[in-house]
Structure 1
């Protein structure tokens, strides 16, 4: 029996599996609000108390870098250690994976119906695959084929320097530099980043912002859902522009990652945000900045690009890897 987990800054999804052939149908699964728990051990023990299962191995996708079997959640004060988890949970084998590596392991298992194609391109069946995933933060990973199967590698590329493409994005960079000494893509292209784009647009004084919207956002610790709702349902101009800028910046960074790994096997856009803003990703602005790489643009235009719509890709990827332990 395998325990798998997708551990994020906002929520954690735990599941128990009995077979690698049944990754879509766990024996039991449950989602937890991460911030309510002091550690992963506390959460897992609560979960296992509710089920009758003899767990012999576990694999957790973790939102942060893994160094010598140890990890710290990027947006949580959790410290994790494979050896400590084995001892404290009484599980023989425990492995920590970068959460984007876990998502990457799930990508080859996706069906065509579980993705939304932004650019059909031409697939190299064994070419490198890039994964860019804006959720609470911005995760990035890639897959390389070793001759028999794909091997995933996580990265912290979302923390690389933000590179603006036009005057409006230069203004965004200046706005952010007044508030932080380093501006990464995560600062402007994630659940954390979208409110920063909105705040910048509001600071320009160009957009009329209703009083109710300002008051609602001021009361919220997570403003991204309201901004997306304003763009989709209310068609608030400032919200529409914020999401459009987000889609454009995401396209540019996805193109950056595709160039760095020569992602002829495809580029997959994951995370919780892209499925919620598909109209803004499919209207052409994403692909415009994706291919805006000078003489490399024609090459990138041949790369397949898809949005991952299956919500449990990282969990399935962690489970798939876990069964190889």
Structure 2
């Protein structure tokens, strides 16, 4: 899909917890942040957009087109967010704001687009491998949920492949993990990647690790509190949960690298990884990533990095707005006057 946007372009990164909006005022311009809006505080996307534009006042002309990245599967004219109450319909938003065009994509499409030109200073390596240009890349991230996409060279274009990798099954790989899995809280009777590799997933892991080590069930704690207690070693079960989280994340990163032959690297976004960099760098993340016989040699040559730039989707959304012809991707497209 290639879409031409009229400027200014409203861009938005809509997650289960927060919606972030910015304007790209002219082709090639850097995005200018409007606001961060709590998803739960607005009835629908248009309400949040109105608030964001009102905060900007009259600093620039109103947007003429828009592209929103949302945490959900783009499979119809109206999309339900995976981890929030909003339903997103491109046509409704386009008409609400008098736009010429409106595009809705999965939230990891722009993260993948941004990975095409990401600067080294926006990355923190996990492991010693240098980047290898020209191959496929994988971007993923544990946050409120778990998102993933691949950026695959295809002829003169870069194809962005959205996935629902967060909803694939994940099982134990050793005796301790089997004990954890036995008491781990399930979601809809499943243990998926997102069940454990997300903010709520870290809370589930901590509760399960504590249960295994003490023999007693315990209530789930706030993920931020678990992270803090694990990093300062004030709670040994929290530290063990972070170590397990790191190992599982390495395993899943390796699986996705194998799936897409991501020889140019795996880039980890989301809200959790930047906070636990020390655990990822010093723990079993890379060992779990590379433990993929008979391809361990290939895996050792694949770089893994944490995206440390704030709002990484914004640069990707700006790239999609300004350099749309370079990318091939799936999304919901509405143009004013078509089918009206």
**TM-score of the superposition, structure 1-length normalised?**
0.90
The answer for the alignment partner of 2:81 in structure 1 is: 73
User: Which residue does 1:106 correspond to in 2?
Assistant: 114
What is the SS of the residue equivalent to 2:84? coil
- Within-5 A mapping of 1:54-203: 54-121=62-129, 123-176=131-184, 180-203=188-211
Q: CA deviation at 1:159?
A: 0.7
The 5 A counterparts of 1:233-272 are: 233-272=232-271
**Structure 2 contact 27–321 (Cα < 8 Å) conserved:** no
**Match runs of 1:169-318 below 5 Å:** 169-176=177-184, 180-206=188-214, 223-318=222-317
Please say if 1:2 is aligned against 2:35. no
CA distance in 2, matches of 1:180, 1:68: 24
Conserved 8 A contact 2:69-2:110:
yes
> How far off is 1:122 after superposition?
5.2
TM-score (norm 2): 0.86
Q: Does the Cα contact within 8 Å between 2:209 and 2:241 map onto a contact in 1? A: yes
CA distance in 2, matches of 1:126, 1:147: 12
Cα drift, residue 234 of structure 1: 4.5
* Coordinate RMSD, CA, aligned: 2.1
Summarize the Cα distance change of 1:202–1:273 in structure 2 as closer, same or farther, 3 Å threshold: same
| Post-superposition offset of 1:87 | 1.2
Give CA-to-partner distance per residue, 1:130-164, whole Å, 9 cap, x none. Answer: 11211111111100112334232211111100122
2:10/2:22 contact within 8 Å kept: yes
**1:46 aligns with one of 51, 55, 60:** 51
Q: Secondary structure at the match of 1:67?
A: coil
2:126 is paired with a residue whose SS is: strand
Deviations 1:277-298 (A, max 9, x none): 0011001410011011121111
Aligned to 2:28: 21
Asked if the contact 1:140/1:154 (under 8 Å) is kept, the reply is yes
1:139 counterpart SS class: strand
Give me the whole-angstrom Cα distance separating, in 2, the residues matched to 1:147 and 1:87: 36
Q: Tell me: CA distance 1:178–1:61, structure 2 relative to 1, closer, same or farther (3 Å).
A: closer
CA distance in 1, matches of 2:45, 2:89: 10
Structure 1 residues 43 and 55, CA, compared in 2 at 3 Å: closer, same or farther? same
**Contact map agreement 1:4 1:318 (CA 8 A) in 2:** yes
Preserved contact between residue 69 and residue 95 of structure 1 (Cα < 8 Å): no
Q: Secondary structure at the match of 1:16?
A: strand
Alignment deviations for residues 236-277 of structure 1 (CA, whole Å, 9 cap, x no partner): 201100100000000000000000000011111111100100
Secondary structure at the aligned position of 1:245 is classed as helix
Q: Which stretch of structure 1 is more off in the superposition, 68-77 or 280-289? A: 68-77
Q: Displacement, 1:75? A: 0.2
Bigger mean CA offset, 86-95 vs 223-232: 86-95
Distance 2:213 2:232 in 1: 23
Look up the SS of the partner of 2:226 in the other structure: helix
Unaligned runs of 5+ in 1: none
- Deviation digits for residues 63-91 of structure 1 (CA, Å, limit 9, x no counterpart): 01111454221101211121222112221
**Separation in 1 of the partners of 2:211 and 2:185?**
14
